[in-house]
Structure 1
Amino acid sequence: MDKRGSRRKSSKRAARASRAQADGRRDHGRVKLWFRRLLIWGGGAAVLGLVFLAIAVAFAARSLPSYYQLKATQNAQTIVVRARDGTEIVELGPSYGKWLSSNEIPQVMKDAMISVEDRRFYSHPGVDPYGLTRAVYVWATGEDRLGATSTITQQLARNVFLNSNRSLDRKLREAVLAMALEWKFSKEQILELYLNKVYFGGGAYGIDSASRKFFSHPATELSTAEAAIIAGLVKAPSRYSPTADVDAAVARASVVLRLMRDQGRISPSEAQVDVSAVKLKEDTGTNSVRYFTDWALPQLDLLLPETFEPIEVWTTLDPGMQRAATASISANTPEGAQGALVSLDRDGAILALVGGTDYVQTNYNRATNALRQPGSSWKLFVYLAALEAGYTPEDRVVDTEVSIGGWSPRNSNGRNIGETNLRTAFAYSINTVAAQLGNEVGFSAVASMARRFGITTPINTYPAMVLGSNEVRLLDMTRAFAAVSAGGSSVEPYGIVKVTTADGDLLYQHKRARSSQLVPDHVARGITDLLQTAVQTGTGRAAQIGRPVAGKTGTTSSNKDGYFVGFSSGITTGVWMGRDDNARVGGLQGGRAPAQAFAAYMRYAVKDRPVEEFDTELQLPEWQLEEEDDFFFGDPDDYYYIDEQGNLIEPGRSDEPGGAIPFPGDGEGPGGQDDAMRPSSPVPQPGQRVPAPRPQTPNGRGADGAPQAVDDDFLDGVIGRDRPRPSPSPTRNPG
C-alpha cells in the first residue's frame, strides 16, 4: 500500500513537472514570438519613419530657396550716425558687412567656429547622431532638461527659417530642415551661409560685420586670437561681447583656442597666443547720444523715400560739446532729480542734447518730450510784448502789491521795492511788475508772442500765465531764446545735415529754413539788454563765463522745476532740472544748479569762438520818439491817421466812403479785465507813425455821447497829450 502510494505521488510529481516544463516551453515561445513581433513591428516602424523622414526631407529640400536667394536675404536696415565732424557716434540696426565667399574666409575662422560649435560638422548629415545620443543619455541620467544638440547646419536652419522657441515641434522641424540643407547644399556652402549670417551681438550679423565692429578691419584680415573671440560670441553674444565685458570675451576665446588645439586644428604654439593683447575698436559713443538719435532719426520717415539699404546720417551733433553737456548735467543735477540740456547754434543746428542723467536707466527724453513749467524764464514773452507795445528798458515801473481779478501775485522775498526801471525789474525777476505788464499789454498778447517765438504747447491766458504756469518743452524755450540771439529772426532747430548711402550717394541735404523777422530790431535789442543785465547783476549771475552772456532763470513754486536759458557767442543753451514725479527738490532754483550747469557747459562750447558783444543800442522808431504834436498829422495818403471823430483812416482812403476803421473790443479778458483793443484790418506796425493801442478806458464815449472807435489812451498818444500811465502789477517766484 505504501509502495503503491509512493508510486502515485511520484507519478503525480512527474506529471506536474512535465506540465510545468511544457508551460515553460509555451511561455518561452510566446516571449520569443512577441519579441520577434516587436522587432518586426519596430523595424517596420523605423523603416516607415525613415521613409517618411526621407520624404519630408526631400520635400523640404525641394521647397528651400536657392543658394543665391539665401545669400540675398537681408532682413533690416543699418543706420550709421555721424557727428558734424564725420566721426561715427553710433550704429543702429543690424549690420551685415560684406559677404565673403568660402575661399575669402580665413581658414582659422572656419576652424575656430567648427571647433567650438560643431566638431563633427564634416561627418554628420545635418543632425549629429553621436551628439544627440550623448545629450539624451545625460538628460536621462539626471539632467533636468535635454541639453543643446544643435549642429552648425541646425543653427543655420533656425536662424534663417525658424524662431528660437524651445519646443519639441520646433526641434523636429529644425532637424528636418537641417538635413534638407545638407541634401541640397555642400558643406562649404552651408559653412559660408552660416558665417555670413550668424549673429555676433551689437547688431552685427556675419563675421565681416563683427570684425569691423570689434576690430575695425574686414574679416579677411582676422588673426587667430580675433577669430577665437568672434567664434566664442555665438554661444552668448551679449555675455561675451568684448565691448561689454573684455575679461569674459578673453576667457571664452581661450576656451576656443584650447578646443582648436585638442582637435588638432592649430598647433600648441598657436594656442598660446595672448588674446588679451588684441586691439579692440574704441567705443567712443556715450549713452546720452541716444537721446539725440531718438529725436532725430524718426524724422527720416519724412525726409527720405522708403529705402532698406544701409545709410549714413550726418548730423549737427558736436562730440566734444555732447560730452561736456553730459558731464555738466551729471555734475550739477541735485541728487534724486533729473536734468536736461539743449544747445543750438545760431542757425538752429543742435550741437548737444541731453534728455536725462542716464539713458540706460531711463530713455525718456526730457529735452524734447517733457512738459514742465518754465517759471520766470517765461517772462521773456511778457517783456517782449511790453517792449513791442512801446516800453523801453529805462521806463519807470512800480513794484507794488497788485490784484488782478482776484489773483494777487507776490515776490519771492515777500517785499516790494517801489519805483524802479524795467531793466532792474527784469534782472531781479520782480513778479509784481511782470503781472502789471501782462495785464497792461494783454495776456493774449503775451500768448501770441510766445506762439510767434516757437512755443508749440497749449497756452492759457489766465493772469498767472505771466509767471510761467504754462507747460512747455525745453527745446521750444531754447528755440525762443535763440531767436532773440539772432536779432529777432526765427530759428528752426534741426539735427540732420545730410543722408547718404553706404557708397556715398546723396539721398537728402538739409536746406536752411527761410527766416522771418519776429519782432523789430529795437525790440530784440531791448530784450537782449534785459537778458544781459539779468546775468550781469540779477538772478542769473551763476551763469557768467567771462564773456558776454544773456539769459533768464526760472523757478516754479516749491522748487519743482529749475530753468536757465541763455546765449553767448552765437550758441543758445537751455537747461532744465527737476523730478519726473514733480516732487519738490530741495534747494533747486534756476539761478543755482541750472545756471551752474549752463556755465560749465558754455565755457567749453564757446572756447574756440570769438567774443561777441551784444548790440543793445536802442534805435527807437519815430512813433516812439517825442515829437511835436503836428508830427502825427499831414498828408493822409502817406500814413494811417486819426480823423476828427477818432476813426483810424487807412492810407489813400480818406476820401472813400467807409474809409474809417473802427476798433472792435475783444470782450472780457482773463481776470475780468478788458484786453487791449485789436484792429480788424491792417494796423500800424512798429516803426510806423501811429503808436501801439493802449487798453480801453471805462467811459468809451465821446463828447457827443456816441461810442468811441478807439480808447482815450490811444488818442492821447496820437495827439501827444500826457496822461498818467497805469501803475504796474505783481508776481511769484523770481527766476
Structure 2
Amino acid sequence: MPRIEVRDRTGALIAVHGRDKGAPVDPATLPPHVIQAFLATEDRNFYDHVGVNPVAVLRALLVNTRAGGVAQGGSTITQQLVKNALLTSDRTLKRKAQEVILALKIERAYDKDEILGFYLNTVYFGSGAYGLEAASRRYFDHAPTELTVGEAAMLAGLLKAPSRYAPTRAPDAARNRAGVVLAAMVDAGYLTASQAERIEAEGIASVVPRDDSNAYGADAAVAEARRVLGGIGRNVVVTTTLDAAAGRGVAQSVEDVLGADPRVDPAVEAAVLLAEEDGAIRVMIGGRDYARSTFNRATLARRQPGSVFKPFVYLAGLESGLRPESIVDDSPIRIGTYAPDNYKDRYYGEVSLTEAMARSLNAAAVRVQEEAGRSRVVSVARRAGLSGASDTGPALALGVIEATPVEILQSYATLSTGGVPSEPYLVTRIATPDGRVLYEHRPPPPGLPVFAERDMVALGHMLQAVVHSGSGVRAAVPGHLAAGKTGTGQDSRDAWFAGYASGLVGVVWLGRDDFGPMEGPKGAVTGAGAPAVLWSQAMRIGLEGRPARDPVPYAPEPDEKSLFEHLAALLTRRSPDDDQIADLIQEIRAQPAP
C-alpha cells in the first residue's frame, strides 16, 4: 500500500494514509535502554547466536512435529526480519525451514548492528507505523533518540500484537504489556527491580493524544486525489486547501458548544464546513469523534435541509417580481391535504418577505412558493448548486428534500458570490516525494452569474435580517456583516445554520445517525440554538485576521401606492370585520379632496 501524506495549505502534515514508514534509525545513535527493551523481550542472545537459536529451534521443532504444523515459533530477531521482509506469513514447516536458511545467510552477509537496524526500521508497531522512527513520532511525538525507558518498553511490547496493544486504542492493555517488558528487562539485568517499580508507579509512558481534528478532511482529500489521478499506486504528497489550525479550533468549538447545551445529548452528531467563495474548503468536520466513527457526515450524510432551503424559495419569489418589502399572508394555509404549521403555531398575518424570512414563517414561505411556482423554485435551487432538488409537492418550501452539508455549502457559496456558482474542492497539488508534480488544481475561468444582481442584493438584505433581528441572532459574527438561515427538520431530526460573511461560507448540521428526533426533557434542538452558536464560533475562527467586506446596500423600490391604499391595507390588517373595512374605505374615497 503506498504512503499518502496529506498536508494543509501551509505544508503542515495532517495525516498519513497507507504505510507510515519512518526514516531509518542507526542503533548506534539510540540510548542503551531502547535496544535493551527489544532484546529483553525478543531475543536476549541476539549478539551471541548465528541467526538462529538452536535450543529454541529444536524445542519448536518437537512441538510442531507433534502438532503436524507450526504451533510454536522460537524465532530470533534475524528470523523475524526474514519473515517480515522476505517471506509470506504462512505457518508451514517448509516456510519455517526457508526462514532458518535465509537467517543464516543474512548473518554471514551483515554484522549484528546492521541486522538490528534493518529489524527496527521495518517492524510494524500498529496504527499504520512501520519502523521505530514512525512509531516514536506517532505515539510520543519525538525522535527515537529521546525515548524514555517506559516509552521504549511500551514500543517493544507492541511487537507481540501491534493492533491489540496499540496505546491509542487500548492504553490499559499497552501499559500492562509494557509492564511485562520491564519485568523482562529486570530479569535480563538491564534494570533493577526498584527502577522498574518506579517507572510503573509513574505510569510507564504518556501517549500523545491523537489529533483527529482534520482527519475527515484528510480522508475526503485522499478520495478526491484518487479521483483526479484515476487511482494512487505510488507514494505521493497531497497538498490541500485545509487550514489545520482552524480545523483544530473548530473541532474544539464543536465539543464546547454541544457539551454546554443540555438539549444536545451524546448521540447527536455534527458536521461543520468552512470554505472560500471559490470552493476551497478550509475546515471539514465530519463527526464528533473520528476514532469512534470515520463516517464523514459532511460529505455523505443525506439529510433534510428544512428551512435552510427557504432562501431559494424567496429567490424564486424575487425572480417572479416580488421584492423584500412585498407583503405576504402568514395565516394558516391548506393545499389539498397539506397544512403546514408555523413554529409553536404562531401566525403573524400580513408581513413583508424580509420579516417572513427573518422569522422563518412556514405558511408565508409556502404561499411565496405557490405564487412563484414550484418549477421555478426547483430551477433556482439547481442553479445554486442543489442538483438533487425536485418537486416534492407543497412541502418543498420547507426543505423536504435530501442534501449533504457539502451540497448546502455549495449552494450558499453561490449566494455569497452574488450568483456565480463554484465547485467545492480540497486538493491543490499532488506530487511524488521527490517533488515531481502529478496534478495541480487550476481555477476554472470566471463563470457567469446565474441570478440577476438586483435579486442577489435583495436576498442578501433578507438573509442579513435573519442574523440581525430574526431566528439567527445567535449566529452574529462581531466585526462582520453575516447573512444566513436557520433550519430545523421535521420533529427536530436535523438542525442547521448556513450562511456567509466577508467571503467565507459556513455550514453547521446537527443530527442523529439513526434519524431519531433531537428532543428531550430540556427541549428540542433547533437551528436557532446550538447550530447558530457553533456557526458563529466557527466563522470567528475562520475569519480571524480578515478585513470585513463592505455590504452592498439595498434600496427599496419607490413606493407608488396612494395614501388611501396604505390606509386600506393598514385597516385590513387590524380590523376583524372585512365588510366594515370595505364600507369605511368607500366613505374615505367618496370624500371631496381638501
Q: Give the TM bin, normalised by the shorter chain.
A: 0.7 to 0.9
Partner of 1:180: 101
Relative to structure 1, is the Cα distance of residues 345 and 152 closer, same or farther in structure 2, using a 3 angstrom cutoff? same
Partner of 2:4: 79
Deviations 1:164-195 (A, max 9, x none): 57xxxx15234212222034322536545433
More displaced stretch, 446-455 vs 245-254: 245-254
| Alignment-mate amino acid for residue 390 of structure 1 | G
SS of match in other structure, 1:498: strand
Partner of 1:46: none
2:153 and 2:182 in contact (8 A); partners too: yes
Partner of 1:196: 121
Partner of 1:588: 525
Partner of 2:552: 615
Deviations 1:625-666 (A, max 9, x none): 99xxxxxxxxxxxxxxxxxxxxxxxxxxxxxxxxxxxxxxxx
In 2: Cα distance, 1:331 partner to 1:286 partner: 16
Larger Rg: 1
In 1: Cα distance, 2:167 partner to 2:237 partner: 25
Shift of 1:550: 0.8
Q: How does 1:336-347 map to 2 (within 5 A)?
A: 336-347=267-278
Partner of 2:224: 299
Shift of 1:90: 1.9
Partner of 1:678: none
SS of match in other structure, 2:299: coil
1:504 to 2:447 alignment: no
1:394 and 1:421 in contact (8 A); partners too: yes
1:527 to 2:455 alignment: no
2:186 and 2:196 in contact (8 A); partners too: no
1:541 to 2:473 alignment: yes
1:250 and 1:275 in contact (8 A); partners too: no
Partner of 2:367: 436
Q: How does 1:135-534 map to 2 (within 5 A)?
A: 149-160=74-85, 170-186=91-107, 188=110, 190-214=115-139, 221=145, 225=149, 230-238=155-163, 241=166, 283=208, 286-304=211-229, 308-333=233-258, 334-335=264-265, 336-457=267-388, 459-516=390-447, 517-534=449-466
In 1: Cα distance, 2:481 partner to 2:495 partner: 22
2:382 and 2:389 in contact (8 A); partners too: no
1:253 and 1:275 in contact (8 A); partners too: no
| Alignment-mate amino acid for residue 155 of structure 1 | Q
Shift of 1:526: 0.7
In 2: Cα distance, 1:224 partner to 1:415 partner: 66
Relative to structure 1, is the Cα distance of residues 262 and 357 closer, same or farther in structure 2, using a 3 angstrom cutoff? closer
Relative to structure 1, is the Cα distance of residues 558 and 108 closer, same or farther in structure 2, using a 3 angstrom cutoff? closer
- The alignment yields a C-alpha RMSD, in angstroms, of 3.8
In 2: Cα distance, 1:90 partner to 1:101 partner: 26
SS of match in other structure, 2:129: coil
SS of match in other structure, 2:345: coil
In 1: Cα distance, 2:16 partner to 2:516 partner: 37
Partner of 1:18: none
In 1: Cα distance, 2:3 partner to 2:438 partner: 15
Partner of 2:575: none
Structure 1: state its 5+ residue gaps.
1-75, 627-735
Shift of 1:367: 1.4
Shift of 1:228: 5.5
SS of match in other structure, 2:339: coil
In 2: Cα distance, 1:180 partner to 1:107 partner: 30
In 2: Cα distance, 1:435 partner to 1:358 partner: 38
In 2: Cα distance, 1:237 partner to 1:421 partner: 65
Partner of 1:578: 511
Relative to structure 1, is the Cα distance of residues 194 and 489 closer, same or farther in structure 2, using a 3 angstrom cutoff? same
Q: How does 1:579-728 map to 2 (within 5 A)?
A: 579-586=512-519, 587-618=524-555
Partner of 1:119: 44
Relative to structure 1, is the Cα distance of residues 619 and 82 closer, same or farther in structure 2, using a 3 angstrom cutoff? farther
Shift of 1:374: 0.9
In 2: Cα distance, 1:352 partner to 1:419 partner: 41
In 1: Cα distance, 2:54 partner to 2:547 partner: 75
In 1: Cα distance, 2:85 partner to 2:186 partner: 31
Shift of 1:327: 2.8
Deviations 1:49-94 (A, max 9, x none): xxxxxxxxxxxxxxxxxxxxxxxxxxx2112222223222222211
Partner of 1:551: 484
1:395 and 1:421 in contact (8 A); partners too: yes
| Alignment-mate amino acid for residue 418 of structure 1 | G
Identity value in percent:
37
Deviations 1:246-296 (A, max 9, x none): 8876886676577567657x6989x89997999999957533422222222
In 2: Cα distance, 1:104 partner to 1:345 partner: 47
Structure 2: state its 5+ residue gaps.
259-263, 561-594
Partner of 1:94: 19
Aligned partner (choices 563, 566, 581) of residue 499 of structure 2: 566
SS of match in other structure, 1:367: helix
1:288 and 1:355 in contact (8 A); partners too: no
2:246 and 2:542 in contact (8 A); partners too: yes
Relative to structure 1, is the Cα distance of residues 251 and 430 closer, same or farther in structure 2, using a 3 angstrom cutoff? closer
Relative to structure 1, is the Cα distance of residues 253 and 589 closer, same or farther in structure 2, using a 3 angstrom cutoff? closer
In 1: Cα distance, 2:172 partner to 2:219 partner: 31
SS of match in other structure, 1:185: helix
SS of match in other structure, 2:247: helix
TM-score by length of 1: 0.65
2:27 and 2:35 in contact (8 A); partners too: no
Deviations 1:90-140 (A, max 9, x none): 222112234568888888766653343122335556553423566799999
Partner of 2:589: none
Shift of 1:369: 0.8
More displaced stretch, 335-344 vs 194-203: 194-203
In 1: Cα distance, 2:416 partner to 2:14 partner: 29
SS of match in other structure, 2:386: coil
Relative to structure 1, is the Cα distance of residues 425 and 314 closer, same or farther in structure 2, using a 3 angstrom cutoff? same
In 2: Cα distance, 1:566 partner to 1:508 partner: 32
More displaced stretch, 452-461 vs 548-557: 452-461
More displaced stretch, 600-609 vs 473-482: 600-609
Shift of 1:156: 2.8
| Alignment-mate amino acid for residue 173 of structure 1 | K
1:127 and 1:178 in contact (8 A); partners too: no
SS of match in other structure, 1:80: strand
Relative to structure 1, is the Cα distance of residues 604 and 101 closer, same or farther in structure 2, using a 3 angstrom cutoff? closer
Shift of 1:538: 1.3
Partner of 2:56: 131
SS of match in other structure, 1:526: helix
Shift of 1:508: 2.4
Partner of 1:7: none
More displaced stretch, 345-354 vs 275-284: 275-284
1:373 and 1:469 in contact (8 A); partners too: yes
2:418 and 2:453 in contact (8 A); partners too: yes
In 1: Cα distance, 2:33 partner to 2:357 partner: 72
SS of match in other structure, 1:390: coil
